[in-house]
Chains A and B, each alone.
Chain A
Amino acid sequence: MKDIIFTILSNKKLADRTYEIVLSCEKGAHGVLRPGQFVNIRLDGLYLRRPISVCDWTEDTVTIIYKTVGKGTEQMSLMAEGETLDVLTPLGNGYDTAKTGDRPVLIGGGAGVPPMYGLCKALLAEGKKPMVVLGFNKENEIFYVEKFEELGAEVYVATADGSAGTKGFVTDVVKTLEFSHFCTCGPEPMLKALDNVIDKNADGQLSFEERMGCGFGACMGCSCETKYGHKRICKDGPVMERGEIIW
């Protein structure tokens, strides 16, 4: 982990209350190694940093996508190109692509979609053939579907109100697919629903969200109990293996 100052290259609206920021830094400075890792952003006037998952990265950029859900993210949405952000990076364990097999399914729900992009890219680079299932509430919240398609992934969309793609939830799509492994990120009820519908023998990696204090393992503010003992969602997670989770 390092504390670095990024410069905002772009900050644009992708969908309803959903924005994408591309941050630039010196080559190699951000340290992001695995999809599913996150960064923790300091914002003027707010005491705690805001943890946001990494969507994509290059040697000298990090792309994050966030939903405006409160003061911090609303403040971020107003920031302009050229402004700077104080960021702790990289944080968390991320997904282990060695465990996915050749035909994994990646399932993202709402603000959980972004880390699936970096993961999809990494898996394709390893020669695997991921399927992607993206869930949104309604059509005007949809983002990044074409970006996944441009990567060459097989993409399915579900909306709760049926305004686009399959009417229903990601579980309705996932039930119909055959896959070697699943990786997911989204609200906890979605993760739980997936655990319920996916064959008990299938392995998966699930990324959890929690209110954090520090984001780097010091305060024990986001500890959870797992089958292998206490884990800090920020440092030992946010990605947990299906087999260790106590629901």
Chain B
Amino acid sequence: MVKEMNTKVELCGITMDNPVMAASGTFGYGYEFAELYDINVLGSFSFKGTTLEPRFGNPLPRIAECNEGLINSIGLQNPGVDKVISDELPKLAECLHKKVMANVGGFSIEEYAEVSRRLDGCEQVGWIEVNVSCPNVHDGGIAFGTDPEAASSVVRAVKAVVTKPVIVKLSPNVTDIVAIAKACEEAGADGIALINTMLGMRIDLKTKKPVIANKMGGFSGPAVFPVAVRMVYQVYEAVDIPVIGIGGISTAEDVIEMMLAGATAIEVGAANLVDPYVCKKIVEDLPRVMDKYGITDLKDIIGGAHNG
């Protein structure tokens, strides 16, 4: 490459080498992927959703295949925040020398605040990603992300106890994404990440029953990409804080498109599960695709589709 390509972006005061992150729940705590390649090539990643207590998650089967995607119903399986801090983060520190995004799940406002407070104290954590959009747990997660009032209560409670930037991860399973994003911004959120998975279902023709034990689950993969681009576009218009684009991204072209819609950074989710090398491939492919579309500085294209 002859030309100087700049892939750096700034997310809530932290400069990232590139906008490519792996999405929570598709990248574990990073070290499994570090066996395959140097994960420092990524901008960063968001680790597995963490709750106060350990959770086993939902009954099996938890996975159903779809055209251009899959439905998952993991149910926030994680070892609990204390184990994450004592066991997982030290292992991650050996392979990632960058700030990581801490994904926080919860079943009450107090739980969100307490888990965030504990993770805020970890030096490795750069951002707190508050997941108010998990479709796979009852009485929590998505219940907070589908109502502007509830979402802003979570944001206020978390902001009151942390020092690091708070990013709210939103659900697409709402009638007015803009109202919820604005409420989060007003409550003090430093960024908005969207979209989490879409509620979906598959039925097995042989058993004539839903494939997923929990019946419904979160649909993700390339099929949801246009929905994600649309929602990122709408939210970018409505808020002044950075937007992270998530949903069906699997190529460097998708990254550019999502950034044109308004994303400062992006997260790759489902694609990691079918091609564990996909994030590395996207990062390596970005300069070529930038060149192809006459882009020399990636941050210049953020929200580019809104101009004129």
Contacts and interface: CB of A to CB of B under 8 A. Distances in A.
Given A213-B72, A216-B32, A222 B276 contact: no
B56 A222 contact: no
A217 B63 contact: no
Contacts of B68: 47
Given A221-B72, A223-B57, A216 B276 contact: yes
Interface stretch (B21-29, B98-106, B225-233): B21-29
Given A213-B273, A230-B77, A47 B70 contact: yes
A230 B56 contact: yes
Chain B CB count within 10 A is highest, among A1, A221, A235, for A221
Interface string B55-71: 01100111111111110
B274 interface: yes
Contacts of B70: 47-48, 213
Given A219-B74, A221-B74, A3 B275 contact: yes
A218 B26 contact: yes
Secondary structure type dominating chain B contacts: loop
A178 B69 CA distance: 48
Nearest to B74: A220
A124 B119 CA distance: 53
A154 interface: no
Interface string A206-225: 00001111101111111111
B35 interface: yes
A229 to B, nearest CB: 9
Contacts of B66: 47
A49 interface: yes
B60 A210 contact: yes
A85 to B, nearest CB: 14
B136 to A, nearest CB: 11
Nearest to A216: B276
Given A48-B274, A223-B57, A224-B60, A217 B28 contact: yes
B36 interface: yes
Nearest to B73: A221
Interface footprint category on A? 20 to 34
Contacts of B272: 214, 218
B65 A48 contact: yes
A46 B67 CA distance: 7
A46 B26 CA distance: 19
Contacts of B61: 210-211
B165 interface: no
B273 A219 contact: yes
B35 A47 contact: no
A100 to B, nearest CB: 28
Interface in A110-138: none
Contacts of A47: 65-70, 221-222, 270, 274
Interface of B: 25-28, 32-33, 35-36, 48, 56-57, 60-70, 72, 74, 77, 211, 221-222, 270, 272-277
The 4 closest A-B pairs by CB, nearest first: A214-B273, A221-B63, A211-B61, A220-B77
